[in-house]
Structure 1
Amino acid sequence: MLLEFTYPDATLIAGVDEVGRGPLCGDVVTAAVILDPNKPIEGLTDSKKLTEKKREALFDIIKQNALAWCVARASVEEIDKLNILHATMLAMQRAVAGLSIKPNYVLVDGNRCPNFGIQTQAVVKGDLLVAEISAASILAKVTRDREMVEFDKLYPQYGLAKHKGYPTKDHLRAIEEHGVNHLYRKSFAPIKKLLLI
């Protein structure tokens, strides 16, 4: 059940979410979405609770019906330089800055918010509770998952299409066997450990 968040004077609420904090490789991807109250979208929820087919369908519906949306990212290099938390915050700022309409309120999934220069609130389990954040989580997840599928075609030995870069047993075994390439986050413990061997 999605809650309706109402704030005084907040007419343009942007929802923000990220995907890809936990994986060992690839960018962290964020999205910001301002929904159109006159075009409600059915079926929005946490992207992880949806089937891939449903996410793909909603991905297009959100892009067509939202007042504004933006997908942004922080690169593997930025993650290694800043750490994953700061890189995620930077990517969130980029997503909000990239919106074609400036929101007057921002709701962020989780318990930390970067500074957007706009009134902001963190919402724990926001991707389940706030339609705008659900929409952002779907855009970010579909974008990142598609990238992992593309990388899988280039580097099939890692199985990226299957685990999407998360540290599964198979994935860790594949990295041990085939080594660390430029997609990997060298600051992450399992990768750091392999580089020291």
Structure 2
Amino acid sequence: MPTYGYARVSTTEQDLTIQREALRNAGCEIIREEKRSGTTREGRQELDTLLAFLRPGDTLIVTRVDRLARSIGDLQDIVRALKAKGVAVKATEQPIDTSTAAGKAFLDMLGVFAEFETNLRKERQMEGIAKAKEAGVYKGRKPSIDPMTVKALLGEGLGATDIAKRLGIGRASVYRVIGSEGIE
């Protein structure tokens, strides 16, 4: 029965080394890894590849349940799909083994806490942004499109589609600049 590992961090600045070593030490023959947010399954090609590849009798190992998913809904969907395939899920740092009733219950509890932690982090972030805006410190992201460039290209007789192509942006962005700047 082959053992596969899945490692994930949220940002490109984070390192996968500790997870990779823990999974190797747990006996994983193949380890798939990626640097993507765990709040959604969208865009997680390595996880999708692994889920499609696993066969009955295989075991998927993660270091912690929040590496697999930070949403209880996504976690339950993943575990249900794996169970239907006859694949067990285990974690190296948590007593999770979906082949047992206690392990499945503990997995669900940890999933709830992972989602709760994500929601708390979002709330704190929004509070911080609100305070920074009040203090005049936070102004949001700097504009990536120079309105004067758009105006100059309009002056050359280019339409929104051609301006968008030239600047490598969407047409809607060109229209947004034209509308917000009162450019005609």
Rg larger in structure: 2
The structure with the greater share of residues assigned to helix is 2
Bigger relative contact order (CA 8 A; separation at least 6): 1
